[in-house]
A = this chain, B = another copy of it.
């Protein structure tokens, strides 16, 4: 049995929060919880953020010292985003959207001739940048294609990647040896625009680049310049500014597949968020650790610097 304090829409009003703090056990959502609020919540055991990222509106250090669990629902997005990564990858590798456009413009080629510049994902060299939840959900989808997967993730030892069937390499090897490069890195304090002009110049001619993480790990100005050279093809689900300005040159460019931040935001994920939070809340109330949501780690929570995304709106 639990009392639930909620409001119909929008954030909880301060007065409601203040009234609830003395007896609250768990907070669901993205309520700001600075030290002064935490001090008034002596029974607080868990903060369950029903978004995919951790935001800087909580005094994490104090929570860790007090043993308050903080967790977010990022695992819920792993499968839909991995599926989307495969969809974009197959689209670029086989030339699906460009083929459709060619037919609509009456300039298509048939059979072998229509496949010039396109190939198969079977046995391809695939590079992954950032090997978190999404990459782990992507590996089983890639498995039947028997790709050689190289991955770069500075937070993980080689054995952790090997366990999932990927080879750990440095960033340069991923960029220079892959026919397909999939960017899945989460944004941190260290990696802003770390894929810039130099990195893009490393890509092989004909490389297919898929960008699914938040836009600010990629230097989009450099990406635009590289695309104009026509050496690579790109699919991107994220943009430095969303909505993408109507006059942005990307909107008219060939060689790019455009997607409006749709990788994770499916109805099924929304439903799964609720189930995931309830499952973990039940465990926490029974004195057990949460297992479905992703717990904030003291070492990394401060490095993450997401702001609420469009997905959440």
Q: Which residues of A contact B (CB under 8 A)?
A: 64-67, 79-80, 83-84, 86-88, 90-91, 94-97, 99-100, 102-104, 106, 108-112, 114-115, 118-122, 140-141, 143-145, 155-157, 159-160, 242-244, 246, 251-252, 257-262, 265-268, 270, 275-276, 279-280, 282-284, 287-289, 291-292, 297-300, 309-313
| B300–A119 CB distance below 8 A | no
Q: List 30 A-B contacts (CB under 8 A).
A: A64-B64, A64-B67, A65-B65, A83-B90, A83-B121, A87-B94, A87-B96, A90-B90, A95-B262, A96-B97, A99-B260, A102-B260, A103-B260, A104-B258, A108-B243, A108-B260, A110-B242, A111-B261, A111-B313, A115-B265, A115-B266, A118-B262, A118-B266, A141-B145, A155-B283, A155-B288, A155-B291, A156-B291, A159-B279, A288-B299
Quote the shortest CB–CB distance from A9 to chain B (angstroms): 15
| B103–A251 CB distance below 8 A | yes
Quote the shortest CB–CB distance from A279 to chain B (angstroms): 4
